[in-house]
Each structure stands twice: as structure tokens, then as C-alpha cells.
Amino acid sequence: NPGGGACIPLETVTEESQSRHVLPASFEANSLQKSNWGFLLTGLVGGTLVAVYAVATPFITPALRKVCLPFVPATTKQIENVVKMLQCRRGSLVDIGSGDGRIVIAAAKEGFTAVGYELNPWLVWYSRYRAWREGVHGSAKFYISDLWKVTFSQYSNVVVFGVPQMMLQLEKKLELELDDDARVIACRFPFPHWTPDHVTGEGIDTVWAYDASTFRGREKRP
């Protein structure tokens, strides 16, 4: 050898070169297993995010609107005060933004044919389940709908858990649509221009009752 170095057979060089580049079968299997777990984990995380988005979107979307009805469950005292304002009343009842259906179910138990309109489908389905469980599903109905797209002229009693930003617009809508015999019951926040005929409760449990004949300045029908 002109260079004076050790002479290595060609076969040995070839074998060493292959041994440096060919991974053991067990190592390849481990890598493949880790890769599969990575794909599985990614799929689970992605599926979870999609599920969370599907559940949360109906709750979040109304909050992004100019005027919205955030879901805050009615307290037991608020329900009692609403029922008190319905004493000696007859006819159908509607809860605008019915949430989990507590008011509608309570009214149905008092003998009213009650309807709830709610934009969040998850709450509507839950309300229907509660009505079935409470045994009033025949007289308590729930619909997925935007309150601004519903006409309330067919209802004699209207209940609303509103927010200050929507009360003026809703006041105008109800004044145009309701019959003179109707009663509007507001919880948490009163209407800005109407003078209530009855008030009960205090603090967050305060309930205001407005008779349509009063806020229109007309005499009640006999």
C-alpha cells in the first residue's frame, strides 16, 4: 500500500457501511408505534376541540350580537315571584329567552299552556328533557328561535329575563304586537318607559308586571 496504512478487505468495508445505515427492526417498530400514538393523540385533541366548539358556539354566538340574552338561571325566588304575578291570569304564556326552561315548566304546573323561545339549541333540548321528567311536556313547549323573529301577538302572558340594552327595543315590539288583555312580566330589569302595575320582590329577585291596557293608556276590557 503506497500510503503505508492498514489494508481492509472490500467486503468488510461494505458490511460496516451497511451496519451504519440500516436501523435495527426493533428500533423501526418503536418509531412506528410512537408515530401512531402521535397521530392518535392529535386526533383526540382535534376531536375534543371540535366538540368543545360545537357545544360552546351557541353560548358564545349570542354574546357577539348587538343585543343578546345571556343565560343566567332564574333563582327559586324569582320563579316564585313570577308565579305570584300570574295569579288570576289565564291564557297562554311565553318566556322570551327561556334558558333551561324553569319558568315555562313552573307555568305549565300552574295550568298554563306555556312556550319558551331560546336561541341556544342545547338549552332547548335540555328544557324539553326537563319538561318530560317533570311530567308537563304536553303543556310546556320549547322552540329554537331568535326572539326578534317571533311574533308574540298570540300570547296573553309574556315573561322576559332581559338586559338593559334590549329592553327599549323589546318594549316597542311588544307594544305593537300584544293584545290589550296581555300582561308582560319583567325580571331583573324593568322596561324603561312603562309604569308597572305591580312590583314584587327585591334586589335581583324583583319582578315587574305591566298590563298592556295600561302602557297603551287604554281601559281594561271587562
Q: How far apart are CA 50 and CA 179, in angstroms?
A: 45
Same domain, 143 and 193: yes
- Alpha carbon 171 to its chain centroid, in Å, reads 23
Check: CB of residue 183 under 8 Å from CB of residue 157.
Answer: yes
Same domain, 94 and 200: yes
Answer yes or no: is 27 within a domain: no
Answer yes or no: is 9 within a domain: no
The domain of 207 spans 76-219
Answer yes or no: is 30 within a domain: no
We report the CATH number of the domain holding residue 116 as 3.40.50.150
Same domain, 91 and 194: yes
- 61 pLDDT band, cuts 50/70/90, is very low
Same domain, 83 and 187: yes
CA atoms within 13 A on the CB side of 126: 12
Counted domains in the chain: 2
Per-residue pLDDT tens digits for 191-202: 999 999 999 999
Q: How far apart are CA 152 and CA 156, in angstroms?
A: 9
Residue with the three cell numbers 305591566: 210
Q: Which of 68, 89, 107 is the last residue of a domain?
A: 68
E strand spans, the chain:
92-96, 113-118, 140-144, 157-161, 183-187, 198-200, 207-211
Phi-psi region of 36 (alpha: psi -120 to 50; beta: other; left: phi over 0): alpha
Q: How far apart are CA 113 and CA 139, in angstroms?
A: 5
Same domain, 131 and 178: yes
pLDDT computed for residue 217 by the predictor = 83
Same domain, 125 and 100: yes
Check: CB of residue 92 under 8 Å from CB of residue 156.
Answer: yes
User: If DSSP codes are grouped into helix, strand and coil, which group holds residue 148?
Assistant: helix
Same domain, 94 and 189: yes
Q: Which of 50, 68, 86 is the last residue of a domain?
A: 68
Q: What is the pTM of this model?
A: 0.68
Hey, which residues does 199 pair with through a beta bridge?
A: 208
Per-residue pLDDT tens digits for 120-144: 999 999 999 999 999 999 999 999 9
Q: pLDDT exceeding 90 applies to what percent of the chain?
A: 60
Same domain, 145 and 83: yes
Answer yes or no: is 16 within a domain: no
Check: CB of residue 197 under 8 Å from CB of residue 213.
Answer: no
Same domain, 175 and 123: yes
70: its cell numbers? 345571556
Same domain, 150 and 49: no
CA atoms within 13 A on the CB side of 137: 12
Same domain, 110 and 142: yes
